Structure 1
């Protein structure tokens, strides 16, 4: 088995950039629906006036080459694990005592999600950001069966090849499940796990988590309200879980379809701001561009299908590996509902941020990771 790692630089062919521009210019837009002119009204999904603004900026105002140069400032490698090409950002700290730290992202994230976080962590950590199979430059997929547990095993192998016997892990979204699986399967190697989430995780109460004892009727109603809100946003999840091959061609052939599918997920819960008022517009479009150029819109959805049909336990955190949670855009019932036994040693809550704290609460997340991991070895 070839265990080498190969330095990697991004160099998207100009023909791909030209093709993207032409496709955006030739978008066949739906007929506008009378009464749907408010660019901030996401009640039926991403509003067309707002989507048109983003598409026009992507076509005429966004500079991929400038963003590509910024991404290439981060050292990157590829390696082949279990027949699958795996891409990873690998930024070594100048500090010889630095702790290796794996940052695990989910969908529709990418290593771009952590771009601003890396320099804030580089004094204390050797930072590794793998792309799951089917995401970013970990494409194309080598075959079926790349569910989160197998992905966690691939990450452990990547860390071995980079020379790290032990390491800590941070994750958000499905990346938090990968982080937990790493700890559960390699408790001798994982120093600690840190996960980030936001108040919508309360929707898992009554499903993945039991309702805690002693809640009042009003408190149950508050959780049910979050559950109902999240249920309205589950369309993409059901499609990924059960019919990724149906949505895949649209996400590969139409940049505006991909843009709508991804950017809607950056609409912060209960926030009047548009996604690009919550996170940096060009960073947002850099992530979408990465999905477009690598055709990962289709292949990344497969991770959900594989996970849904694998029977794995996404919450298989190791009882012996220290765990920390950071809850952004928090809810008053967050810890009472999710950790009523106070079993999680490090628990932080923030009013700011949302589902992508590495992008919209970068300093808070960096400080919380450092605080939790300080002094561990």
Structure 2
């Protein structure tokens, strides 16, 4: 194996000077005036913003999260000229199945930390040894401790090809499965469309299946899905429209101001989780700030935004994120499955998935959770992985 193809161990070590700089910036925040509504309809309310920042400044402990990351085996390797960071946890159980988990935005590997052990050692959580996985958890290029691409073209299809190299060449797995949500869903869907050697099946928790021709007389399920799309495009896609078209412009705020970065992400934890009105109903402040701090200390607010420009904006220049589902890889032959979480932003009917996927092997609707499935509901997510991929263990 050449040096460029080597897999090398990695450890997270954020300099104390970077932590001190963050605290100084937080302490010097110039706050805007208060919103003129009594809810979140104009964005993150000032009181909620101040409360989160106060916690970040005076209570939150990055070193705790850093130590947790370092408790897992972490690595880096160069693929297609870009350094890729990944966590790789091998199961103690014989015949474990390799699983590739891909995060999205504003997520990171932090989304999956509470499911790693559930998947790799299910007997500790009421599962069976036969359901164990070897867990591979990479950071998308431009996110976390992966390199930031310096050339055009790092869209979901190219990332998917890099993931194939990671699984088959770098880690030498001969048979494996893949899962993703948000951008991870787009990447996993692209991966299934490419059908690389060894990929047995794929699963997503955001099925990006939109018919090329929308139904003129939709049934009840279709009408709800169309309403999801309309609500997203008309009232929820401002962040995406900015990143689809001008990621560099918003990037100055995201890179220079920790408060700007935090609110850009905190709003999505409110809007996309299964909560009763507050993000903290679904995720703890520590969980959210682990994720936000990971973006801050790696300086990836701008580079992560460019994935929207590459993945959606560079082809359609539209705020309709779901249009990317229609411009993909054709009817997918690799077995595909999905779990629908009740607070997900888009919940298509099963029939749309059957039309897009030639072999729909699993479809389930669960009763709790939202867009950040593994982050919000690690127990449910792990059980879904055990159940969904069980039929493919005998095919290896």
TM-score when normalising by structure 1? 0.90
SS of the equivalent of 1:78 reads strand
**Partner Cα distance (1:57, 1:333) in 2:** 34
- Return closer, same or farther for 1:9/1:190 CA change in 2, 3 Å cut-off: same
Aligned to 1:238: 241
Match in the other structure for 2:100: 102
Match of 1:348, SS?
Answer: strand
Would the aligned equivalents of 1:212 and 1:340 in 2 still touch at CA under 8 Å?
no
Which residue of the partner structure matches residue 16 of structure 2? 14
The alpha carbon displacement at 1:83 in A equals 1.4
- On the 8 A contact 1:180/1:314 being kept in 2, the answer is no
CA distance in 1, matches of 2:364, 2:213: 21
Runs (5+) with no aligned partner, structure 2? 122-131, 317-323
Q: SS where residue 163 of structure 1 aligns?
A: coil
Aligned partner (choices 253, 256, 259) of residue 250 of structure 1: 253
Classify 1:259/1:156 alpha carbon distance in 2 versus 1 (closer, same or farther; 3 Å).
same
Q: Measure how far apart 1:275 and its partner are.
A: 1.2
CA distance in 2, matches of 1:333, 1:137: 32
Q: Which residue of 2 aligns with 1:361?
A: 377
Partner of 2:202 in structure 1? 193
Aligned pairs (5 A) from 1:42-121: 42-121=40-119
Change (3 A) 1:187 1:64: same
Pick the structure with more helix per residue.
2
* Residue 267 of structure 1, aligned match among 266, 270, 273: 270
Deviation of the 1:220 alpha carbon: 6.4
Q: Does 1:352 align with 2:352?
A: no
Contact 1:101–1:170 (Cα < 8 Å) also in 2: yes
Question: For 1:11, what is the secondary structure of its paired residue?
Answer: coil
Distance 1:189 1:314, change over 3 A: farther
Cα pair 1:147 1:310 within 8 Å, conserved: no
1:182 to 170, 173, 191: 191
Unaligned runs of 5+ in 1: none
Deviations 1:270-323 (A, max 9, x none): 843311221122111000000001111100111111112258866437643211
Higher mean C-alpha deviation, range 323-332 or range 88-97: 323-332
Determine if contact 1:76/1:88 at 8 Å carries over to the other structure.
yes
**Where does residue 298 of structure 1 map in the other structure?**
302
| Number of equivalenced pairs | 366
**Alpha-carbon distance in 1 for matches of 2:230, 2:391:** 41
Q: Secondary structure at the match of 1:258?
A: helix
Aligned twin of 1:229: 231
Q: CA RMSD in A?
A: 2.5
Q: Distance in 2 between matches of 1:91 and 1:340?
A: 33
Structure 1 partner of 2:340: 327
Match of 2:320 in 1: none
1:307 aligned to 2:311?
Answer: yes
* Aligned partners of 1:180 and 1:318 also within 8 Å: no
In structure 1, distance between residues paired with 2:41 and 2:299: 28
**8 Å Cα contact 1:171-1:178 kept in structure 2:** yes
